[in-house]
Amino acid sequence: MKSIKNPDKRTWTDLVKRPTNFYEDIEQTVASIFKEIQAKSDVAVSKYSNLFDGVNLKSFEVSKEEIAEAIDQIPSELKSAISLAKSNIERFHEAQKTEKIEVETTKGVFCWKEKRAIQKIGLYIPGGSAPLFSTVLMLAIPAKIAGCQEITLCSPPDKSGKINPAILYAASLCGVTKILKIGGIQAIAAMTFGTETIEKVYKIFGPGNQFVTVAKQFATKFGVAIDMPAGPSELLVFADESANPSFVAADLLSQAEHGSDSQVILVSTSQQIIDTVSVEIKKQIKVLPRLEIAQKAIANSKLILVQTDEIALELINEYAPEHFIICAKNENFFINGIQNAGSVFIGNYAPESAGDYASGTNHTLPTNGFAKNYEGVNLDSFLKSMTFQKITSEGIQNIGKAIEIMAEAEGLQAHKNAVTLRLNELQNATK
C-alpha cells in the first residue's frame, strides 16, 4: 500500500481517484452487443454466452430439477447460516415500510402519497471465482417484501452449464420467480429488451465487473432503471490509537480479496497505527487463498496520515466510500459528521463482513464516489411513490382563482379554461 503523510488539500482530487476507468472501448463493445441482442434476441444471447462463458445451452432457464438438486448439495450448516442472515435482512427491511401520507392542503383539497411495487425487476448475480449468493438475499428479500410480481435472476453458468448451487438455493428460498443461466453484457441486454424466452424488466439490480457496470448504465438509454452506477468494491477505515491493528488489517484485506480492481484506504491520525496495520497486512495476506487478487488490490490502495480528526473527516467525505469503518475514541464525531458513505460500521467489533452477510443492512452500495448522491439499496429501491388528489367542489373554488391567474401568466389558456369551466358551472348551479 502506498503511504501518504499529511497530503496537501490541493492533491485530494487525485488522492480520491479510484483505480478503475470505464474506457470508450468498453462502451463500444456494450453498444454493439446490445444492438445485436435487440435485433436477434435469443440467437444473439446464445452467441455471446458461447463466446464469453464457453457454454452452448439449449435452454437458459434453470429447471425445477436443477434447483432441487442444488438444494440437496447445500450443507446444513450453510443452510442455517443463510437462514440467520435471511431473518435479519427481512427484519431490517420490513421495518422500512411506511404508511400512506395524506394532507388536506386547503379545505376540500385532499392530497396523498402511496407506494407501489415495481412490477418486474431483474437481478444480476456474479458467479465467477466468488459466487455472491449473499447478494441474492440482499436483493430478492426486499423485492419480495415490496411486493414485486416478477423477479428475474441472471447469473453466468460454469463450463458445464450450471449455476453455483448456493445461488440457486438462495434464489429458491427468497422467492425468485425465474432463474436464467446468462452472464455479463448479454444478461443485462436481455433483461433490457426482452427476448423470446426472457422477460423485459423495469429495473435492474446487482453488482458486476466493469462490463456489467457499463451495460447497466447503457440500459438506462432504453427506459430501464438501475439501482446505481456501482463498480468495484471499496472500503475506507478511520483508525486511531483505540483501534485493534489486526482487526483493521483483516477488514482492509476482506475488501481487497473481492477483486484486483478493488480499493482499500486507511486514514489515521497515528503513524504507529499505520505502521502496525501495514505489518499486519503483510502477515495476514500470505495465508489468503485469493492472495494474487488481494495483492493487486493492495497495490492500488493507500495508508494516509493526517494531523486531526477534522481533516480526516473532510477527506473521508471527499472520498465518499462505499463502506466506512470507524475505530476511534471520538466515534460520535465521525458518526455525526459523515455525509458521504454507503454504509457505516462503528467500533472494533463491527467488521464490514457483518454488513456483507448477516447483520441485516443491505450490502448493495454506491461506489466510485457515488455515495455523494446515491443511497444503497433498501426497501424503497423496489417501490415507486405515486401521488393522488381528490378535489371537492368547495376545494376547486378555494384554489381555482389562483390556478387561473398562474395559468394565464404562463400563457397556457387551456389550463385556465379547465378550471374556469368548472367554476362557472358551480356558480350557475347556485343561481
Kindly state whether residues 291 and 161 are assigned to the same domain: no
Contacts of 315 (CB under 8 A, 6+ apart): 7, 12, 15, 16, 267, 304, 306
What per-residue confidence (pLDDT) applies to 131?
Answer: 84
Kindly state whether residues 76 and 216 are assigned to the same domain: yes
What per-residue confidence (pLDDT) applies to 22?
Answer: 60
93 is in an annotated binding site: no
Kindly state whether residues 296 and 337 are assigned to the same domain: yes
Kindly state whether residues 285 and 141 are assigned to the same domain: no
Kindly state whether residues 350 and 335 are assigned to the same domain: yes
Kindly state whether residues 268 and 216 are assigned to the same domain: no
Kindly state whether residues 209 and 263 are assigned to the same domain: no
Catalytic amino acids?
A: 322-323
410 is in an annotated binding site: yes
Q: What are 274-304's pLDDT values in tens digits?
A: 999 999 999 999 999 999 999 999 998 999 9
Kindly state whether residues 317 and 352 are assigned to the same domain: yes
What per-residue confidence (pLDDT) applies to 229?
Answer: 81
Kindly state whether residues 257 and 339 are assigned to the same domain: yes
What per-residue confidence (pLDDT) applies to 58?
Answer: 87
Kindly state whether residues 270 and 237 are assigned to the same domain: yes
Neighbours of 282 (CB within 10 A): 12
* 380 within some domain: no
End position of a domain, from candidates 200, 227, 254: 227
> Domain range spanning residue 290?
2-18+231-360
What per-residue confidence (pLDDT) applies to 21?
Answer: 62
415 is in an annotated binding site: yes
The Cα 115–Cα 136 span in angstroms is: 23
258 is in an annotated binding site: yes
* 58 within some domain: yes
In Å, how far from its chain's centre is CA 153? 15
Measured torsion, CA atoms of residues 124, 130, 132, 133, in degrees rounded to the nearest 10: 120
How many domains does the chain contain in total? Answer: 3
* 195 within some domain: yes
Positions of the chain with pLDDT lower than 70, given as ranges: 20-23, 129
CATH of the domain at 242: 3.40.50.1980
Q: What are 119-174's pLDDT values in tens digits?
A: 999 999 998 767 899 999 999 999 999 999 999 999 999 999 999 999 999 999 99
What's the pTM value of the predicted model, to 2 decimals? 0.94
